[in-house]
Amino acid sequence: MNHLTALLSAAVLSSCLVGPALADTSGKKIALSNGYAGNSWRQSMLESWKKIGDKAVADKVIGAADAFTTAAKEAPQQAAQIQNLILQGYDAIVLNALSPDALNGSVKQACDAGIIVVAFDGLVTEPCAYKVTVDLAETYGAEQVRQMAKRLPNGGNILYIRGVAGTSIDDDITKGVLREIEKHPNLKIVSTVHGDWDQTTAQKAVTGVLPSLPDIAGIIDQGGDGYGTAEAFRSAGRPLPIIMLGNRKDELVWWKEQIKTNGNYDTWSASEAPGMATFAFWVAQQVLDGKDVPKEVPMDILFVDKSSLDAQIAATPDGGVANVEYSQDDVVKAIAAAKK
């Protein structure tokens, strides 16, 4: 980017002296601040963090990579947790924030104490934090509509299942969906319900609204709700629409079953990979290493199509979500791309 800071000169200097993968950060400590562990996504996230973090420690790339999760899903607790991490002397905090603004005070304190803060998934608005960003509107919302249009060349009625109302994620994805669907006049959203990214909630909402709906050709959603939606259609005895999926193992297995019983069934599945915590980990490591890192590093979502379906089913644990862990190289490349 365009800001010339001391960081940049340090980065130039150090990269002149030694090659990449410096041992500079071998004494540095990185903490993961997490506010929730109760679903499969967060569990996979913690596992990925441990896997990559432990390896980085063993390889002496980093001094420590510890994960901390608060007891309750509440922002004040996470704010207190961040303050503790500051006192414990961590050099960087990788943060999955429970609130976009309630943690800003603590994040600012950390920055003022010279600690690098990298937010991912749950972002914060405090400008001193680095952010791992995903363009959900484009890569997920709009892309789903394009994938749907490809599979429904003659158009049809669409049921759109939204996430938790009032969250930035729900707003972003919806923006992308609505923007793109205007370009496909033969796709018509006939009803919108909130499934809260949860199969139970989605199944309830769809079960309730389904009897009043005309034939549905496709479901656009936000992931985590596809299997519940399929169950709602099945128990209502309605023909199965094309349901966009969210990379959960049960969704992928269900897709495989549909292919077995009806060879033509084709859909598309995507989600942020829980391993994005490891992406943020390497961003923090790069900053600690003195590299010039832009404040926002974009990341791609992980998608599964027919060709990668079998491999993803095999790699994902029962009840889990498809995952990928990022390497230092991946992140170095992403940072280079972001600087263009």
For other proteins, the binding residues (CB under 8 A) are 37-43, 71-72, 162, 165-166, 191-194, 198-201, 203-205, 207-213, 227-228, 231, 235-236, 248, 250, 317-320
Whichever of 131 and 248 has its CB closer to other proteins, that residue is 248
Helices (H), ranges, 138-198: 143-151, 168-181
Q: How far apart are CA 13 and CA 17, in angstroms?
A: 7
Q: Helix, strand or coil for residue 305? A: coil
Instruction: Report whether 221 contacts 246 (CB < 8 A).
Output: yes
Q: How far apart are CA 180 and CA 171, in angstroms?
A: 14
Q: How far apart are CA 107 and CA 80, in angstroms?
A: 11
How far apart are CB 279 and other proteins at their closest, in Å? 21
Q: Helix, strand or coil for residue 85? A: helix
Whichever of 274 and 290 has its CB closer to other proteins, that residue is 274
Whichever of 99 and 191 has its CB closer to other proteins, that residue is 191
How far apart are CB 83 and other proteins at their closest, in Å? 22
How far apart are CB 235 and other proteins at their closest, in Å? 6
Instruction: Report whether 247 contacts 271 (CB < 8 A).
Output: yes
Whichever of 42 and 291 has its CB closer to other proteins, that residue is 42
How far apart are CB 319 and other proteins at their closest, in Å? 3
Whichever of 114 and 166 has its CB closer to other proteins, that residue is 166
Instruction: Report whether 309 contacts 252 (CB < 8 A).
Output: yes
Please return the burial class of 16, using the count of CB atoms within 10 Å of its CB with bins 0-12, 13-18 and 19+. Answer: exposed
Whichever of 135 and 171 has its CB closer to other proteins, that residue is 171
Q: How far apart are the first and last CA of the chain?
A: 7
How far apart are CB 71 and other proteins at their closest, in Å? 7
How far apart are CB 284 and other proteins at their closest, in Å? 25
